[in-house]
């Protein structure tokens, strides 16, 4: 079946460091891929998405490219801030509304 695997956390970085959170997926078809972020005490928010191979999603300085050949959708940011501390979820969907999530990766950014 379809699944999403993320790198285990927590990931701890200093402010202005480069961020990569790895995400790989297993899919029987051609899903859309998403990154959601959950700030402390809040609900998940869509961070970015890509709907087909080679698409790049970007938002708030974060980027992720849909790589069909490596079945990956790694999240990157060039310079993290303390305010980026949150839990990040990678997910896939076949446009049915049903989201399949990875286990989440906690990011801690220290000043």
The structure tokens listed for 14 are: 């200093």
Between 29 and 111, name the residue whose CB sits nearer to another protein: 29
The binder of another protein chosen from 52, 56, 98, 110 (CB under 8 A) = 98
Residue 75 CA to residue 21 CA, distance in Å, equals: 5
- 29 sits near another protein (criterion: CB under 8 A): no
Q: Provide the sign of the torsion angle of the four alpha carbons 52, 56, 62, 68, taken in this order.
A: positive
The binder of another protein chosen from 25, 36, 62, 73 (CB under 8 A) = 36
Q: What are phi and psi of 98, to 5 degrees?
A: -80, 120
Closest CA to 22 of 66, 96, 56, 73: 73
Between 41 and 111, name the residue whose CB sits nearer to another protein: 41
- 99 sits near another protein (criterion: CB under 8 A): yes
Other residues' Cβ atoms within 10 Å of the Cβ of residue 1: 6
64-93 mask for another protein (x: CB under 8 A)?
-------------------------x---x
Binding site for another protein (CB under 8 A): 4, 36, 41-46, 89, 93, 95, 97-104
């Amino acid at each position: 079946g379809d699944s999403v695997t993320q790198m285990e956390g927590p990931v701890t970085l200093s402010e202005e460091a480069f961020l990569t959170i790895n995400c790989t997926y297993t899919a029987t078809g051609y899903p859309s891929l998403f990154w959601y972020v959950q700030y402390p005490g809040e609900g998940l928010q869509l961070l970015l998405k890509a709907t087909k191979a080679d698409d790049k999603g970007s938002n708030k300085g974060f980027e992720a490219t849909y790589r069909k050949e490596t079945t990956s959708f790694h999240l990157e940011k060039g310079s993290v801030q303390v305010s980026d501390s949150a839990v990040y979820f990678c997910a896939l969907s076949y446009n049915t509304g049903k989201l399949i999530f990875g286990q989440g990766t906690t990011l801690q950014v220290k000043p």
